[in-house]
Structure 1
Amino acid sequence: MAMTRFAIGTFVLDGAVVPGLVQGDELHDLRSALPAVSVTSELFSDWEAHLDRLAAYLAAPTGAPQPLEALGAAGRLRVLPPVQPVGPILAAGANYRDHIIEMSVAHKLGRDGASAAELREDAAAEIDARIRTGDPYVWTGIPSAVSGAYDDVQLPDVGADVDWELELGVVIGRTAHRVAVEDALDHVAGYTIVNDLTARTLVPRDDMAKIGTDWFRAKNQPTFFPTGPVLVPARFVPDPADLRIQLRLNGQLMQDATTAGLAFDVPSLISYASSVAILQPGDLLITGSPAGNGSHWKRFLRHGDVMESTITGLGRQRNVVRGPSGVLPPWQASRPDTVSA
């Protein structure tokens, strides 16, 4: 018998925060099925059993669902990141082969004086060697940078060349530490969409050459991780390595790839990350972005831009870009020479 497909989300409905059970365009208050669950993160205490109870509820619901599209059109609904409270972000960088090659050429990362063809060839050889014998590259993001799937993106007052990076998000469902690759997917609760925005001008740290890059300031600005709209349980995603990722900017297709292009796949990322740290339920692992970023197109985000993003079976994001406020934070205002540089 086919499983009843549904997703988990968090919504502000008529001013009240509601943990939601989503089936098609219908929104159920998840508490109708699980009265003891007040926020979605509480589902992780017994994830599979809770999913079974939610499926049984949908077979004979006792509460009346509400139409998501109509609620949104009426201005009664706001979509929050699906897992509340929001947890930390573990982010894989440089994890699509084509993207790594593309970025090496765009940013001239390689031998001085090398041609575009030489940079491309060198980058391909380097990533192929790292896949065979090396490790993924993982950095961390903070919860305050996470925003909803339909929230505006706010460009910062310090930092320019803000770029999009659409990624598959993996939500950890149970504690993972020193997990083998073959067991890694057993620790996944589900999947979601994440757009990992980057202020490219804030990445380099020329004043600290031995450290080189500053991912904290480049990626942790408010609204820089649009996430959701929903968390789709892993039982409804047969193969996370077979999902299509697409991002459109003002209607123009900029990113179009599949997760088959991951250098290190989802199980490998979980195994590696758990070899270093203890992964907790609710942690969000983002898996890297494919080719087609603004750095490649030499076109970065501007006020009024609209990003529309999809990943197979996980829903859709739509984010309007808002320009800088024009007011420097006190720290940067006290260092005008540094800011202007």
Structure 2
Amino acid sequence: MTHHDPTAGFDAPYALVRYREGAAARLGLVAGGRIRPLGADELGAADLNAFLAAPDWDRLGALAESDGGWMPLADVTLTAPVEPRQVLQTGANYRQHVIELVAAGLTQNSDRTPEEAREFAARMMDERKANGEPYFFIGLPACVVGDDVALTLPGYSDVHDWELELAVVIGREAFRVSREEALSHVAGYTIVNDVTTRDLVFRKDMKEIGTDWYRSKNAPGFLPTGPFLVPAPFVDGSQLNVRLELNGDVMQDASTSDLLFDIPALVSGASQTMPLLPGDILLTGSPAGNGQHWKRFLRDGDVMTGTIQGLGTQVVRCVAEGAAA
């Protein structure tokens, strides 16, 4: 059973979820504090990704108002609401966050004052927004889990970090779409915590190679996702509050209005290389306030509570590798 209230911060008329039924996960529809199973007949499609390819929200809206077949949401255990074939992640995409990172580096490595460094960094970011491209890398779909799974902190590092992010769920296939067309390929939104092992981000054996996103971001369970897949018609992704608390202390608190590249730019940019498929997720980047900033990383027993306005709340419990869950 779900021990916390996933609906805190969730205000859509209905949303899609997946929930535990024995060892399997079953698709469901949540409306109010209730849930009902969704089979192919109710969906009008073979499965979740087939539905997302051509989402009929009116059909689900009618079902959300119908009687019969409902259970209390508190009686089930929710898991990740998506089954992506591809996971795309976006780096360096919150203006304020990147300005802080760049300014910190400039202050350490030049004779600029902190104010001069921030102004220089701000000009860099505005130039990048006007003329640059989003920065993408890929994650493993196998890392996508629900918050019903504890996050195991691998024993090979002590610097595992959080990055709460708004994630776009792709609807109909998007390949080389323009920014103007991009939102018509978005089916909905969900919450993802893009967990990162900081000391593995940059290769030490050959610095010229650069970043190692495979090792730093793809341990089991490193993409806690959900609890809800909220339909795009209910969400304005351009100004949502993103907030992460660690053991009750606020660490991240920002708005998606600070994105350097907005959602249409991200979907369009990512689609230029490879078709984005129904059900794929595209993470939009992390706002400031990571553990690296606070000089505090994840430990055994930590509880991360991530809320994005309108999308609900996920609660992820951390356990050290080898510790009893």
- Fold match by TM threshold 0.5: yes
Q: Secondary structure at the match of 1:149?
A: coil
Alpha-carbon distance change, 35 to 164 in structure 1, aligned in 2, over 3 angstroms: closer
> 1:6 maps to what in 2?
14
Matched-pair contact (CA < 8 Å) for 1:160–1:202: no
Question: 2:273 is matched with which residue: 271, 276, 279?
Answer: 276
Deviations 1:291-315 (A, max 9, x none): 1111111111111111001001101
Equivalent residue number for residue 330 of structure 1: none
Q: Does the 8 Å CA contact 1:247/1:308 hold for their aligned counterparts?
A: yes
Q: What's the offset of the Cα at 1:136?
A: 0.7
Deviations 1:90-135 (A, max 9, x none): 11100001111233356x3687345671543443222221111111
Can you list the C-alpha shifts for 1:225-252, whole angstroms capped at 9, x where unaligned?
A: 1100010000111x21111111000000
Report the TM-score when normalising by structure 2.
0.89
Counterpart check, 1:164 vs 2:162: yes
Corresponding residue of 1:129: 127
Report the counterpart of residue 200 of structure 2 in structure 1.
202
8 A contact 2:40–2:47 mirrored in 1: no
User: 225-234 or 199-208, which moves further after superposition?
Assistant: 199-208
1:22 equivalent in structure 2:
30
Q: Structure 1: how far apart are the matches of 2:92 and 2:210? A: 16
Matches for 1:242-321 after TM superposition, within 5 Å: 242-321=239-318
Query: Which residue does the alignment assign to 1:66?
Result: 71
Cα distance in 1 for residues equivalent to 2:103 and 2:247: 25
- The equivalent residue for 2:81 is 82
Structure of greater relative contact order (alpha carbons < 8 Å, 6+ residues apart): 2
State the match for 1:144 in structure 2.
142
The CA deviation string for residues 42-90 of structure 1, in whole angstroms up to 9 with x for no partner, is 312421x2x22121222323x3211112x1xxxxx33221023x32211
Do residues 40 (structure 1) and 48 (structure 2) align?
yes
Any stretches of 5+ residues in structure 2 without a counterpart? 1-11
Answer yes or no: is 1:231 the counterpart of 2:229.
yes
CA contact (8 A) 2:43 2:60 kept: no
Give the number of aligned pairs. Answer: 311
CA 139–15 in structure 1, closer or farther in 2 if over 3 Å, else same: closer
What percentage of residue pairs aligned between the two structures are identical?
Answer: 47
2:266 maps to amino acid = L
Q: Give the distance between the partners of 2:215 and 2:171, measured in 1 at CA.
A: 29
CA contact (8 A) 2:244 2:253 kept: yes
Q: Secondary structure, in 3 states, of the residue corresponding to 1:276?
A: coil
3-state SS in 1 of match to 2:82: coil
CA distance in 2, matches of 1:218, 1:83: 23
Question: Residues 148 and 277 of structure 1: is their aligned pair in 2 closer, same or farther, counting only changes over 3 Å?
Answer: same
Shift of residue 150, structure 1, vs aligned partner: 3.6
Amino acid at match of 1:270: V
- Which one is further off, 287-296 or 25-34? 25-34
Instruction: Name structure 1 gaps, 5 residues minimum.
Output: 72-76, 327-341
Offset of residue 32 of structure 1: 8.1
When the two chains are superposed, the root-mean-square deviation of aligned CA atoms in Å is 2.1
Mean Cα deviation higher: 224-233 or 94-103: 94-103
Over 3 Å counting, the alpha-carbon distance change for 1:275 and 1:45 in structure 2 is closer
Q: Which residue of 2 aligns with 1:339?
A: none
Q: In 2, Cα distance between the equivalents of 1:6 and 1:116? A: 51
**Normalising to structure 1: TM-score of the pair?**
0.85
Aligned equivalents of 1:223 and 1:302: distance in 2? 15
